Structure 1
Amino acid sequence: MNQEQKKKYLSIKEMGQKRGVSSKTLRYYDSIGIFKADYVDPDTGYRYYDPQQYEKLGTILELRSLNFSLNEIKGYFTERNMKKSVDMLKEHYKLLEEEIRSKQRLAETIKEKIDFIDKVIDNNIELEKFSFEDFPERFIISQLNKSDKSGESVALEFMHLESHLHETAPILASDRIGFYMDFDDISEMENVDNWHTMIMCSEEMKNSRHFCVLPAGKYLCAYFKDYTADRDLFIKMFLEYVKFNNIKLKGIMIQQFKIDVTVTDDPKETIIEFQALV
């Protein structure tokens, strides 16, 4: 191919620049047969592309953005027809919709966390104040064996529980971890061994031996700060409030970490919420 003919082509660098793709990627696409150069100089090995190939490269990049694998992309361009193409697009469209829903749920969760932290920073969260809140049915996985509840033991229990999740747990943003108790008498709350580590989960975990249901209903709630230093005091305060106000509890209680080591190194900034079904 002479110089005049080469002017009608795009070099590998020019094609890459126009689509924001590296020459290395284009060479790889060529080697696996997804996007081959229209002409390769036999003397220099330089690759040249017909300008009409620009659209095909754009389609490849769009398919990659839809999470098509390289093998799927190769198949997409093999013996194409409308039916084959639309079936492949429909399949990935469903996956994309679910990814969008998942990202939206994560965005909402992170927004809730940000709003809560902002309220704490602005002193708009009332600590040690009791109130009632209605909760829908919720689901947890819980470590039901006895433990010494030392920091190391609890960390291992949380790690064990998280390994059983069938989902990505946004621990940082979602207030999913804490302690759970199913009790017959409220005096059991004062025994540290009666509390069990838990992680909030979806109903999809119902076949797990660790799965538990938190019933829907009205819960007595209160926030407490610097949990690690005054845990026993907070439990005592909670019990005194229950007894003084003659509140009947239904045997379900959780301690849910709202601010913990995922967002602060200062123990005095930690906040836990007590929730007891009434």
Structure 2
Amino acid sequence: MKNYFSIKQAAEIVGMTSEALRHYDRIGIVKPCYRDESSGYRYYSEQELVKLQTIALLKSMDFTLTEIGDILQLDNLHKVIEALKQAEENANKKIAYLQYAKEKIKRAYTDYENKLNNIDTKKDNFFVMHIPKRVILISNNMEHASLKNLWNYHEHFYNQLDTSLESQFLFEDMAGMITTPEKSRLFAICLKYPSVEELTILPEGDYLCANCTEENKDIVLRELLHKLKTESNICPNVIVHIISVTGILQWSYQIQILLN
């Protein structure tokens, strides 16, 4: 039948199952344009195929079938445009999240490959490193590293901002923790930022550093502080921990203390 497609053909074209098309027919979202009375076979035109492909796209953006049905039935162009703009925004959020997850997975399997190949990525126990100025946004309430805090910490910091400022910020894909005598808080390093009071400066300078894990962090920190006290008579008020996610459920630290 010219320009008509059986349910099997239509399902193959749009990448769905025949049962899915039957379900959409039953609930009235997309009905076949023609049904053969003698055989009962359903046939779809190109117009219905476009609707089916639209359903697949909207489902991938987490719209429910009820919401999709409402969009397909809208005859108000302003409402259609508004709905599709929302779909685009959902798609952008999903792409950003998947890219973020991809980077974490890549970092994890790289670390596992290094362990498998016995590659030691750690530096000497204590070393001095010159670090440029860093602008950071300190968390209002996250006090320590945890799986919950580290998995998508950027979202926490964007939520902390006034909505009018969100687009003016860009954070480095690296977490940190700053400790003072008063408190410890996680922070994000700002790559792009406006001039606002909420920001804190980590000054440029030479930092005494040490690599450690969650398990030996306290021991390494005590040794580092002892070295500073005995060799340089320095008792720091600010201690920086840069956090590196080294596996899906693992992370390590680089302790950094300003020397000058």
Q: Percent identity at matched positions? A: 25
Matching residue of 1:206: none
How far did 1:34 drift?
1.0
1:81 and 1:231 map into 2 onto residues whose CA distance is 61
Question: Does residue 1:131 correspond to 2:128, yes or no?
Answer: yes
User: What is the TM-score when the length of structure 2 is the normalising length?
Assistant: 0.62
Alignment of 1:11-160 (within 5 A): 11-40=6-35, 46-80=41-75, 82-108=77-103, 122-132=119-129, 133-134=131-132, 135-140=134-139, 141-143=141-143, 158=146
Q: 1:89 to 1:116 in 2, by over 3 A?
A: same
Distance between the aligned counterparts of 2:4 and 2:71, measured in 1? 25
**Given that residues 131 and 220 in structure 1 are in contact (C-alpha distance below 8 angstroms), is that contact kept between their aligned partners in structure 2?**
yes
Distance 1:79 1:161 in 2: 41
Q: Which amino acid aligns with 1:262?
A: L
Mark the runs of 5 or more structure 2 residues left unpaired by the alignment: 158-172, 191-197
Considering fraction of residues, name the structure with more strand: 2
Indicate the residue corresponding to 2:211 in structure 1.
223
Which residue is 1:262 aligned to?
249
Give TM-score, length-normalised by structure 1: 0.59
How far has the Cα of 1:250 moved from its partner?
A: 2.5
Give how far 1:214 is off: 6.9
Map of 2:161 onto structure 1 = none
Aligned-residue offset at 1:41 = 5.4
- Letter of the aligned partner of 2:26 in structure 1? S
Q: 2:232 aligned to 245, 263, 270, which one?
A: 245
Q: Secondary structure at the match of 1:272?
A: strand
Deviation at 1:239, TM superposition (A): 1.6
- Please, which runs of 5 or more residues in structure 1 have no aligned partner? 1-5, 145-156, 185-194, 204-211, 264-269
CA offset digits 1:57-101 (Å, max 9, x no partner): 223323333444322322222243543432322232233334434
Distance apart, 1:23 and its partner CA: 1.3
The structure 2 residue matched to 1:273, chosen from 242, 249, 254, is 254
Asked whether the 8 Å contact 2:74–2:80 carries over to 1, the reply is: no
- Partner amino acid for 2:254? E
